[in-house]
Structure 1
């Protein structure tokens, strides 16, 4: 009788395991369908939008979507969205949105196409960083002058020209002129720090490639700074601290 009871329990346990596995597979299939629906909805818009990442959030029925450098939350039908909202873990007190954004916007610095950037070397050039910058962006100009004011002198900056045409209609022409100047670094510094406009010039340039790259890696605005470790920030003080830490 004991043997029969053990045998029955074994059968029940196996049945429950199969049942739970089936439920898990069905739930996973449902999640994948939801993700496909969200991606399809975005891509069917005009113009089409491609999400770099879509995954379930810790809240049931709510999905985390990383698109155009921003993290948003939506239902499976993309009927409602939460934009510029932070999801907090009330137990750990962690900002889950901030943590996800940090992970999603971190890149391998060594894989950046530096041939498409203006190289500016100061001092030993020891600390390397990259900036996606618009010549007509006031915050970009503040960054350029701010480094000198902070006494930062040993770095190599790679400037990826990214004119925000909607906000600054003349930025593309200025960017091309700076890129096509005989001395790109000098033309960039003269305009951003001294306010000296570059002579108008045309040539093959990486502006379109930079725009495509910005979308791929999640640049949402200028200046977008990539530190040597690949982390993205829009806070100049983080850059200053990182450079000073390596001096």
Structure 2
């Protein structure tokens, strides 16, 4: 659980809108992309998920908050913003490359790039994670964006009939020869941007919390135990 809550507020001057379509239109004009407007648990507020992150907009359009929204519940702080994205993440579960633990205690989802050293290091220790009861689920996040060879190689991996075998081959130096236009990878990349992923690997716990970059197996286990 995060120990502090930081919310930055910005006043929209001379903007007034009420409908979701109007909110979308005005936020697009401010440079936000892939905008999804949703109800928020606070009366008079809308949740906005975009490539630039999660925002909360007053229904009259005068104020916008950027940051995590927490609910105080049963003596604990529950991150409602992470729950929004966690639902979107789990909706992609059938597109993930999964290395399951036989004695599963935890599930983590990893945004990865096949050119990333620490992603390769994490992958190379997958058996150690599994032996500690940690299931690994991989999503694609080409750090340089979607218009490059790496993104097309990753699309070929995620489009393969046997994704695990394709990723195993790539991690051992046998990269795909048939490059593919990002589609599945584009979906993963968009979600990663909404999570605020800037580097890889980025790890999301089975409660939806982002815990940052590479952690060796025993350190990741300790972090997951502490987060319970």
> With structure 2 as the length reference, what TM-score do the two structures score?
0.55
Q: In proportion to residue count, which structure has more strand? A: 2
Q: How many residues align?
A: 202
2:196 to 208, 211, 220: 220
Name the structure 1 match of 2:86: 106
**Corresponding residue for residue 8 of structure 1:** none
Match for residue 240 of structure 1 among 212, 221, 224: 221
Take 2:158 and 2:116, find their aligned partners in 1: how far apart are those partners? 17
1:121 Cα deviation after fit = 3.3
- Relative to structure 1, the CA distance from residue 152 to residue 190 in structure 2 (aligned partners, 3 Å threshold; closer, same or farther) is farther
CA distance in 2, matches of 1:112, 1:176: 18
Q: SS at 1:115's partner residue?
A: helix
Residue 100 of structure 2 aligns to a residue whose secondary structure is strand
Question: 5+ residue gaps in structure 1?
Answer: 1-30, 89-95
CA distance in 1: counterparts of 2:83 and 2:178, whole angstroms: 39
2:20–2:37: 8 Å Cα contact kept in structure 1? Answer: no
Task: Kindly provide the CA deviation profile for residues 136-159 of structure 1, in whole angstroms up to 9, marking residues without a partner as x.
Answer: 344533443466677954343222
Give the deviation of 1:175 after TM superposition.
0.8
Distance 1:35 1:119, change over 3 A: closer
1:151 to 1:220, Cα distance in 2 relative to 1, 3 A: same
- Looking at structure 2, the residues matched to 147 and 62 of structure 1 have their Cα atoms a distance apart, in angstroms, of 42
1:60-98 CA-partner distances (Å, limit 9, x unpaired): x998744226234778668x9776x7899xxxxxxx9x9
Q: 2:137 aligns with which of 158, 163, 167?
A: 158
Equivalent of residue 35 in structure 2, options 50, 56, 65: 50
What residue is the counterpart of 1:134 in the other structure? 113
Q: Report the 3-state secondary structure (helix = DSSP H, G, I; strand = E; otherwise coil) of the residue aligned with 2:87.
A: coil
Picking from 64, 70, 73, the partner of 2:53 is 70
Give the structure-1-normalised TM-score: 0.52
Structure with the larger helix share: 1
Residues 128, 157 of structure 1: 8 Å contact kept: yes
1:208 aligns with 2:183: yes
1:176 to 133, 155, 177: 155
Change (3 A) 1:240 1:169: farther
Q: Which moved more, 1:111-120 or 1:41-50?
A: 41-50
1:200 to partner: Cα distance: 1.3
